[in-house]
């Protein structure tokens, strides 16, 4: 797991209060208990705070669209951090 994914996994564990979460790119909202819209927003805000980035409303919403997954979030985050 690269550094970005490892840091993201820490955020997931903190937000969902679950130290057992092992993040994989293909994971979606169905794979993590409690990942509803409310928790998605909590997660995004925590990610913004951790990485010092800002997501647009459309980006936040699109990450919940059918077909999007953790990998989509990693890609978007990497792009914002200039690592993509």
Partner 1 sequence: MCGYLDEIQEVARKEFGLTEGSFIKNRKLFGRAWEQEFDSFLRAAFVDGAEYRKALTGYTTYIVDVMRQLVAFQKDGTYAPLTYEEATHKVYQNEDRMMNEYLPGHLISQFLWVHHYRHLLFFRTFFLRDMALSADQRFHDVGVGTGFYSSVILNGLPGARGHGWDLSPHSLKFTERLLSRFGTAERYTSHLSDILTAPDIEPLPFVVSVEVLEHLEDPLTFLIGLRKMVAPGGKAFITAALNSPHEDHVYHYRTELDVLDQVRAAGFHVENAFSAYAYPPTKRSPLVPSVEAVIVTT
| Count of residues engaged in binding partner 1, rule: CB under 8 A | 19
CA 25 to chain centre: 10
Q: Which two tokens stand for residue 21?
A: 């979460």
- x-or-dash pattern for partner 1, window 29-68, by CB under 8 A? -------xxx-xxx--x-----------xx-xxxxxxx-x
Closest to partner 1 by CB, 22 or 38? 38
Residue 3: CB minimum distance to partner 1, A: 26
Q: Which of 8, 11, 15, 23 binds partner 1 (CB under 8 A)?
A: 15
Q: For binding to partner 1 (CB under 8 A), which residues are involved?
A: 15, 17, 36-38, 40-42, 45, 57-58, 60-66, 68
């Amino acid at each position: 797991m690269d550094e970005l994914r490892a840091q993201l996994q820490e955020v997931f564990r903190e937000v969902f209060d679950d130290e057992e979460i092992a993040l994989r790119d293909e994971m979606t909202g169905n794979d993590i208990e409690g990942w509803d819209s409310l928790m998605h927003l909590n997660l995004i805000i925590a990610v913004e705070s951790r990485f010092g980035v800002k997501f647009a409303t459309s980006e936040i919403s699109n990450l919940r669209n059918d077909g999007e997954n953790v990998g989509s979030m990693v890609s978007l985050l990497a792009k914002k951090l200039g690592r993509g």
